[in-house]
Amino acid sequence: MAVIESTINLSTKKFIFICILTTIIANTSWNIIINTIRHTDFCNYKWINENIKKNYLKCNIQKGILPKNGGLDIKKVNDDFPFMDTQVLDISQYSGNRDDVIYQPLIKTTNDFAFSENEAKAVLIASKNSRERGNFKKAQAIIENALLKSPLHTDILMEYGIILEKEETGIILADTIYTKVLNYNPYHSEALIRRQRTLPIVQKYDDKILKALYYKRDEFYKIRKNIGAFRRALKECYFQHVYHTVALEGNTMSYLQTRMFLETGRAIGGKSIFEHNEILGLDAALRFLNQSKISLGGIGLPEILQIHHKVMAYVDPENAGKVRKVQVYVGGFTPPAPQYIDCEMKNFIEWLNDYDTLQMDPVELAAIAHYKLVFIHPFVDGNGRTARLLMNLILSRSGFPPIIIPLEERLNYYKTLKEANDGDLRPFIRFIIQQTDKTLQYFIDTTATNLEKDELKESQLIH
């Protein structure tokens, strides 16, 4: 009997082992099959049911957002609309270093100590009393003044959000404030409840402005690219792009001086060699993006290093195209230590080329890629310029011209990057959408103005 029982136990153990092994092999095989299907791009096949795509193929289905390329032939986009007008004249070379950028550290705290608890309570009581009497302007003034002294106090932030939420135009900012409160305290019950109400409204607004942007892009793409009016607009936007990009970094050359230098190659009197070299570097980077195959292939670390090398070759040839080996400090923000840069960049490149990432809306992807690269701060200098060029490279693949972030928007640019650093990327994404919209409108208006001038000249010649 003991022998029989031993044989039965052995058979049972074998059966259990075989079942476990079969289950593991089946699960592994299923994951491999699904991963293969995802990368075969079955997710884009219209004849496959949406529920099957979402639940079994794990496709990234985004409601209310247009396809990643908006239905455009991207190879045709790149052929028809280069990064710049290649007829811009060649320039002689110069040679110089300054750091750029942007962030403040993310301070994870429930409340700061600028106010004592008694002071904070007094402020909140005064604001609530004014609010209950219907005097929202006074309540807002009290809270805004308090936030100047104590910007991280969650109860004061909540009161500010409640005041803003009363006006339809303030709901987006109120939602941003609730997000900030939750970033400091994820369990803040009132912030959770109020954000449940504001979030759908904000998402609807974000989808609306994104769709409007694609309509404008399609309007822009209807412009005939072979007409002289458009070519002149392209050249004008190129000069504007170079001027504003280097001006954001502190370059003091005016727009006319920048254009004169680019067109003639002659040095501008009273301006440093360093400032000339900044312009040369950006020009070289734009030419590189326009003429190389990088605009069609994948984006990896070598491509980012190449962009940085072009940007910085005239300014800091020793560090151009090289990941930093020293610690840098940017205002109150301390970027990752040099020993972590390789790992951070590896993760960034993997994220940038991940299947799910590539299914994101390209404008959102471009903005987030910009933020991530600047946050890592992989170079001694030139991080902001490299990040903006990377952003424009991503945008160009979906039919957008290189966007201009004007000098007058510098404070908003840095402010929204700071907000991203504090945990909410949406203000920065909206800022990029806004600047993309303005750039498209600038192209449309400039081309139309040039056409009017051409027609006027023709009519004068006829008469």
Q: Is 131 annotated as a binding residue?
A: no
Question: Which of 241, 309, 370, 377 is flagged as catalytic?
Answer: 377
Q: Is 413 annotated as a binding residue?
A: yes
Beta bridge partners of 333: 330
Helix (H, G, I), strand (E, B) or coil at 333: strand
Q: Is 49 annotated as a binding residue?
A: no
CA dihedral over 176, 178, 182, 184, signed as positive or negative: positive
Helix (H, G, I), strand (E, B) or coil at 72: coil
Q: Is 381 annotated as a binding residue?
A: yes
- Residue 46 CB neighbour total at 10 angstroms: 5
Q: Is 388 annotated as a binding residue?
A: yes
**What residue has token string 């003639």?**
264
b/e code 306-343 from CB counts within 10 Å (16+ = b): bbbbbbbbbbbeebbbebbeeebebeebebbeeeebee
Q: Is 414 annotated as a binding residue?
A: yes
Q: Does 244 qualify as catalytic in the annotation?
A: no
Q: What is the CA radius of gyration of the chain?
A: 28
Q: Is 445 annotated as a binding residue?
A: no
Q: Is 231 annotated as a binding residue?
A: no
- Residue 367 CB neighbour total at 10 angstroms: 26
- Identify the CA nearest to 312 among candidates 97, 89, 2, 122: 97
- Are 388 and 72 contacting, i.e. CB atoms less than 8 angstroms apart? no
Report the distance separating Cα 25 and Cα 65, nearest Å.
Answer: 38
Q: Is 9 annotated as a binding residue?
A: no
Q: Which residues contact 251 (CB under 8 A, 6 or more apart)?
A: 275, 278, 279
Report the distance separating Cα 131 and Cα 139, nearest Å.
Answer: 6
**What residue has token string 């993760």?**
347
Binding site for ATP, by residue number, is 381-388, 413-414, 421
Catalytic residues: 377
The binding site consists of 381-388, 413-414, 421
